[in-house]
């Protein structure tokens, strides 16, 4: 076999031969393999219709080593629930120890296989090296993460001395596939937990739901898999800042099979005895987590009934979720805000109307202080504005007759580009802003928009913050960070701890706030020029790849690309804003002025006399 690249010399790729019947596709890779010679490229299966299920063919009698490797790799991309067909390509011992659910490695294309140069056709064992270029991984908790570098793993085959059949006796843990197969096999789903700092909040305050995106196999009982994933706990990255209302150790009752939604949209979830005895309020929080998690799956779940030890615990409908928990998309904004040509804060009705802008009530709408950027609290009662030179940050109520007062924060940056960024409000009424002063770059938080600015710790941050946006859930923050010639979009986790004792530049007896584990949401973009949250776990981003042109796209907080159409093209974008309510139009400031993008339409001009558009937040 030599050490040649498999398939070398015959460049026509071997595609899987598929038989479609009744919505099922049979991958018959072995049938398309030559009887002898080297293994050809293992290319990704062309993306199928989302309703088509793909099943693999088992190994054929007297299948050659190339056919065994090819068939196994194609079986990894099938919709076989427990990878039963893939296991048929393994020896009995390897089939027992192989853990396909441990991880998924996504390559730019399907894996190539190279034969061991020391192998011989008449040998009783052979080794192949699987190679490719990594683009992402999915871990055992279904968390997606962008990846880079070369994938290289060994697959060892042996010939059974009794029956002469080749099988794989050493295989990498997890599964590997090309990007197009991953997109066909997996889908991103948000599971929901509650922000930790809402536990024990004031009486009457609802817990804040936090989206935790994971990837599950699309056609392999996603409802049951998402319930198990939710019960299993949050992803590692999000775990420190969220809680679950399910008691520790809660799982589906032993022996529970596939969960099915009845014809009324009701899903009965039988739990083990760990959930027995919970009170009604906690049970309804548990049900709310399930309903939020399952709301975008099909068939649609309209009601959840929880049972434990065979006893009814509680029931909750989708309409009842809002009485149990709060999430960003529930807060539909009343207005869109921007700075007009007189540098005042003005507003128009949110949505697709043609209302004329009007100055907001209070000092920021009166024009006494020229503004360059603004942020409006989520309750639309308070606003913050940065002066036109970027030096001063002001906060005032949106009521007639309200005074501006003194700045709540000042920057000492020597130039306008080295001063304050546009501010952003979190769900608890905290105001976030970054000082770009190169001599003392800082991220600040003003609790309730007032008081002494609290320096926020940012361990691991390498570069200067250029833009700040806090998620509606209040536990995640998006930062555009500049280092050298690159501007990257990073997502961080907001952690709050007890009183700081003043170490490391601390703040005395105040709560310490830290942004931890910053990770890139757009590793392929070299320059990010604008961004905004656009849903519970999604952002809209304007930027360009190295050597590319400017583009506007949606990204998930985990760095994956959602399976939704990108916004219509728009040139010269300087700012963009979106609402947590995904039904609201996208709004941007471009060379054409302030424009908006209603659902299913093209960009429409709002005004040419304005800059810095923002929704509340």
Q: What is the DSSP string of 302-351?
A: -EEEEEETTEEEEEEEGGGGGGT-B-GGG---SEEEEEETTS-EEEEESS
pLDDT band at residue 24 under the 50/70/90 scheme: low
Report how far residue 14's alpha carbon sits from residue 37's, in angstroms, rounded to the nearest whole number: 14
- For residue 17, what pLDDT is reported? 38
Dihedral in degrees, nearest 10, Cα atoms 63, 69, 75, 76: 170
CA angle 251, 182, 145 (to 5 degrees): 70
Tell me which H or E stretch contains 223: helix 222-232
- For residue 198, what pLDDT is reported? 56
pLDDT in tens, 552-592: 999 999 999 998 999 999 999 999 999 988 889 999 999 99
Taking residues 532-551, report their average pLDDT. Answer: 94
Report how far residue 29's alpha carbon sits from residue 69's, in angstroms, rounded to the nearest whole number: 10
Tell me which residue has tokens 């994971």. Answer: 214
Assess contact for 176 and 132: CB atoms under 8 A. yes
- For residue 3, what pLDDT is reported? 45
Flag whether pLDDT at 33 surpasses 60: no
For residues 11 and 253, which has the higher predicted lDDT (pLDDT)? 253
The pair of structure tokens assigned to 241 is 């800042």
Q: In the chain, count H helices and then E strands.
A: 7, 39
- For residue 23, what pLDDT is reported? 52
Flag whether pLDDT at 121 surpasses 70: no
Cis upstream peptide for 299 (omega within 30°)? yes
Flag whether pLDDT at 67 surpasses 80: yes
Flag whether pLDDT at 37 surpasses 90: no
- For residue 26, what pLDDT is reported? 59
Distance (Å) of CA 214 to CA 140, 226, 537:
10, 9, 11
Give Cα 335 to chain centroid, integer Å: 27
Domains along the chain with CATH numbers: 18-186 (no CATH), 187-323 (no CATH), 328-614 (2.120.10.30)
Report how far residue 478's alpha carbon sits from residue 480's, in angstroms, rounded to the nearest whole number: 7
pLDDT in tens, 305-356: 999 988 999 999 999 999 999 987 677 899 999 999 999 999 999 987 777 9
Report how far residue 309's alpha carbon sits from residue 276's, in angstroms, rounded to the nearest whole number: 7
Most confident of 43-47, 116-120, 146-150, 494-498: 146-150
- For residue 612, what pLDDT is reported? 97
Q: What are residue 318's phi and psi, to 5 degrees?
A: -60, -40
Report how far residue 61's alpha carbon sits from residue 64's, in angstroms, rounded to the nearest whole number: 9
Residue among 89, 88, 45 at smallest CA distance from 67: 89
pLDDT band at residue 197 under the 50/70/90 scheme: confident
pLDDT band at residue 117 under the 50/70/90 scheme: confident
Flag whether pLDDT at 48 surpasses 70: no
Q: Where are the beta strands (DSSP E) in 171-263?
A: 175-178, 186-195, 209-217, 242-243
Assess contact for 40 and 6: CB atoms under 8 A. yes
Q: What is the DSSP string of 519-542?
A: EES-TT-SEEEEEEE-SSSEEEEE
Phi-psi region of 505 (alpha: psi -120 to 50; beta: other; left: phi over 0): left
């Amino acid at each position: 076999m030599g050490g040649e690249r498999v398939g070398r010399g015959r460049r026509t790729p071997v595609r899987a031969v598929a038989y479609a019947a009744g919505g099922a596709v049979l991958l018959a890779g072995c049938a398309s393999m030559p009887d002898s010679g080297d293994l050809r490229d293992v290319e990704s299966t062309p993306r199928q219709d989302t309703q088509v299920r793909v099943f693999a063919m088992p190994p054929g009698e007297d299948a050659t080593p190339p056919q065994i490797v090819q068939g196994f790799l194609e079986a990894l991309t099938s919709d076989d629930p427990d990878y039963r067909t893939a296991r048929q390509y393994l020896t009995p011992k390897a089939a027992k120890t192989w853990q396909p659910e441990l991880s998924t490695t996504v390559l730019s294309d399907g894996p190539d296989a190279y034969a061991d140069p020391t192998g011989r056709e008449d040998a009783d064992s052979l080794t192949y090296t699987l190679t490719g270029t990594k683009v992402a991984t999915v871990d055992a908790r279904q968390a997606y993460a962008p990846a880079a570098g070369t994938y290289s793993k060994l697959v060892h085959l042996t010939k059974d001395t009794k029956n002469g059949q080749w099988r794989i006796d050493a295989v990498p843990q997890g599964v590997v596939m090309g990007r197009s197969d991953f997109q066909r096999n997996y889908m991103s789903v948000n599971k929901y937990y509650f922000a930790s700092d809402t536990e024990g909040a004031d009486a009457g305050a609802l817990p804040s739901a936090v989206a935790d995106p994971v990837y599950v196999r699309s056609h392999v009982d996603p409802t049951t898999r998402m319930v198990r994933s939710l019960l299993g706990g949050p992803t590692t990255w999000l775990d420190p800042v969220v809680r679950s209302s399910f008691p520790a150790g809660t799982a589906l009752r032993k022996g529970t099979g596939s969960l099915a939604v009845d014809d009324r949209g009701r899903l009965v979830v039988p739990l083990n005895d760990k959930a027995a005895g919970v009170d009604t309020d906690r049970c309804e929080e548990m049900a709310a987590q399930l309903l939020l998690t399952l709301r975008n799956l099909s068939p649609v779940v309209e009601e959840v009934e929880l049972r434990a030890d065979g006893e009814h615990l509680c029931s909750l409908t989708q309409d009842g979720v809002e009485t149990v928990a709060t999430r960003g998309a529930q807060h539909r904004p009343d207005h869109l805000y921007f700075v007009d040509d007189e540098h005042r804060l003005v507003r128009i009705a949110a949505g697709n109307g043609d209302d004329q802008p009007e100055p907001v009530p209070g000092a920021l709408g009166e024009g006494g202080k020229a503004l360059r950027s603004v942020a409006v609290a989520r309750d639309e009662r308070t606003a913050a504005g940065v002066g036109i030179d970027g030096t001063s940050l002001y906060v005032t109520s949106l009521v007639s007759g309200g005074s501006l007062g003194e700045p709540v924060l000042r920057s000492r940056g020597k130039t306008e580009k080295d001063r304050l960024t546009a501010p952003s409000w979190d769900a608890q009424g905290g105001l976030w802003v970054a000082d770009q002063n190169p001599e003392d770059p800082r991220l600040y938080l003003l609790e309730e928009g007032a008081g002494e600015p609290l320096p926020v710790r940012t361990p691991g941050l390498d570069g200067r913050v250029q833009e700040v946006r806090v998620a509606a859930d209040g536990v995640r923050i998006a930062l555009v960070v500049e280092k050298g010639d690159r501007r990257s979009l990073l997502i961080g986790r907001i952690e709050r701890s007890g009183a700081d004792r003043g170490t490391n530049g601390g703040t005395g007896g105040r709560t310490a706030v830290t942004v931890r584990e910053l990770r890139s949401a757009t590793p392929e973009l070299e320059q990010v020029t604008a961004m905004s949250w656009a849903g519970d776990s999604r952002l809209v981003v304007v930027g360009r790849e190295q050597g590319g042109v400017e583009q506007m796209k949606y990204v998930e907080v985990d760095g994956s690309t959602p399976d939704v159409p990108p916004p219509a093209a728009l040139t010269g974008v300087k700012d963009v804003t979106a609402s947590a309510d995904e039904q609201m139009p996208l709004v941007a400031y471009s060379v054409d002025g302030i424009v908006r993008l209603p659902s299913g339409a093209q960009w429409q001009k709002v005004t040419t006399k304005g800059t810095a558009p923002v929704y509340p937040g």
